[in-house]
Amino acid sequence: MNTNSNVYTIVYTTIIVVIAAAILAIAAMALKPKQDANIKAETISQMLTAAGFSSKEDLAKLGNDQILKMYSDNIKTAFLIDAKGNKIGELETETGNIELQDNLKQENKNIAAGDPQLPVYVFEKDGDEINVIPIYGAGLWGPIWGYIAFNADCSRIVGAYFDHESETPGLGAKIKDEAWFREQFKGERVNFSKPNDPFDIVKGGAPKGDKNDSEVDAITGATMTCNGLDAALDTWFEAYMPFLEKKAGVTGADKGDCCGGDSCCGEGAEGCEKDCNHEHNHNHQEG
């Protein structure tokens, strides 16, 4: 064969490309189980950090097997819920076959479409139940996500952990890097009376006090990242709202609803009942 011909060059190049592609494909297949194990361990370590079992730094020192074992040893149950807060499936929690709902990007789309399958991870720590849920959204430069841990009746947040793909170091990246930011979430709650805006990250300082415990301070210089995280929290908290309300025993009176959404007279559940009866009688007389 004429090694100087175009045909030889094309055939030779094609063979080299095919061989290189085959090597890369084989390597990818061989490494995929290890990559999947790393992703699963990383996801679980973020949940365990949010739930307060260990710091992310200490968990990073452990091997994947130890992280998975810690998860299995401390989790009571894991399951999926629908948009109405009803359980629709179980997730396996045994060490050798742990199942996670970790495609949060797709689940974010499912929330927008009104057909989510939302995961709930229920741990037991020091005799108390801890409910962990994920959140996902868009930061300044890419995806941001995290896990929020609630107490047994989901009335209070007990921990949080956030991560990102490409936020600015020293600014937006602080949602992951700065412990003080995550610590603010402890003791806060979801505002059930504002289902479309149940939580706020406030620029310039969040007011303190019992009536303002659904707000935390934003990170200075990271407005866009904090806005994205705020939007992600609102989207996912709203999606989980039926489940959270059931756990917390929230009623229409607790949310200030009366007669399908009108404000109550400010006298609690009894006042709401009076107000509804008055409205019903007034309408009946007019009709």
Domain ranges of the chain: 33-250, 252-287
Residue 254, pLDDT score: 61
| Average pLDDT along the chain | 87
Measured CA distances, 256 to 124, 197, 209, 247 (Å)? 33, 15, 20, 18
Q: Band of the pLDDT at 1, cuts 50, 70, 90?
A: low
Average pLDDT over residues 38-54: 96
236-287: per-residue pLDDT in tens? 999 999 999 999 998 765 665 544 444 444 444 444 444 444 433 444 333 3
Measured CA distances, 253 to 6, 155, 198, 283 (Å)? 82, 16, 17, 21
Q: d(Cα 188, Cα 181) in Å, to the nearest integer?
A: 13
Which of 10-14, 92-96, 257-261 shows the lowest mean pLDDT across its residues? 257-261
**Other residues' Cβ atoms within 10 Å of the Cβ of residue 287:** 5
Residue 276, pLDDT score: 43
Nearest one of 144, 112, 161, 106 to 226, comparing CA atoms: 144
Is pTM beyond 0.85? Reply is: no
- Residue 5 is classified by DSSP as S
Which of 23-32, 98-107, 163-172 shows the lowest mean pLDDT across its residues? 23-32
Structure-block tokens of residue 61: 């020192």
Q: How many residues does the chain have?
A: 287
Residue 163, pLDDT score: 98
Contact between residue 67 and residue 45 where contact means Cβ atoms under 8 Å apart: yes
- Strands 200-202 vs 215-217: parallel, antiparallel or unpaired: parallel
Structure-block tokens of residue 33: 């189980």
